[in-house]
Structure 1
Amino acid sequence: MIALMRLLIFGGIALAALYLGLSWYFRAAHRERMERDWEAAGRPGNREAYIEEGMAQYERSLRRRLLWLVFILPVTAVAAIIWFTNFN
């Protein structure tokens, strides 16, 4: 039972760190891509408003939601392995 608690605690911490790192990386990459697009197109207007609008769209995007698979897939895989090992 203690081993399971250790797995849950340290696994949760590791997955949370991975999620936060990937989230930060994807947001930074998207922001940089928006900045390059704005400069390449020579858009008139406020650069910061353009980037903030693009970041707001990113927050509602499918890519942002799929990042939650960082938690779902490993937990499902471990649960399946435990299930098949113990009950089959």
Structure 2
Amino acid sequence: MGFVRLTIVGLIVMTAAYFLISLYSRSVRREKLEKRWAAEHPGATDMAARAAYVEKGMAEYHASLRPKLILLVYVIPVIVVAAIHIVTTYY
């Protein structure tokens, strides 16, 4: 019963961490794209072009490796708990 509770609480915590890290990473990327647009187009007032530039950059971001690496939030804790269990049980 304790293992089931640990699993449920662990999944809830890992899911919350995944969403928070994912939101933070996307917001940082969006901010960098907006700053890059401002640096490349000083004084530009065309908000549609800016939005298209940022959306294109965000699409490239979502296709990159970084969002996939955030999934390690699920993998690493499971490996650590399994390793601790194996070490304490068999050694």
Structure 2: tracts of 5 or more residues without a match: none
Note if 1:70 corresponds to 2:56: no
Sequence identity of aligned pairs in percent? 41
CA–CA distance in structure 1, aligned partners of residues 19 and 86 of structure 2:
29
Note if 1:56 corresponds to 2:59: yes
CA–CA distance in structure 1, aligned partners of residues 41 and 59 of structure 2:
21
Give 1:87 deviation, angstroms: 1.9
Give 1:84 deviation, angstroms: 1.3
Note if 1:87 corresponds to 2:87: no
**Paired residues, what number?**
87
Structure 1: tracts of 5 or more residues without a match: none
Give 1:85 deviation, angstroms: 0.9
CA–CA distance in structure 2, aligned partners of residues 20 and 71 of structure 1:
11
Q: How does 1:1-88 map to 2 (within 5 A)?
A: 2-42=1-41, 46-88=49-91
| Structure 1 runs, 4 residues or longer, greater than 4 Å off | none
Equivalent position amino acid for 2:33 in 1? M
CA–CA distance in structure 1, aligned partners of residues 83 and 89 of structure 2:
10
Alpha-carbon deviations, 1:15-48, whole Å to 9, x = none? 0000000000000110011000000111776111
C-alpha RMSD of matched pairs (Å): 1.4
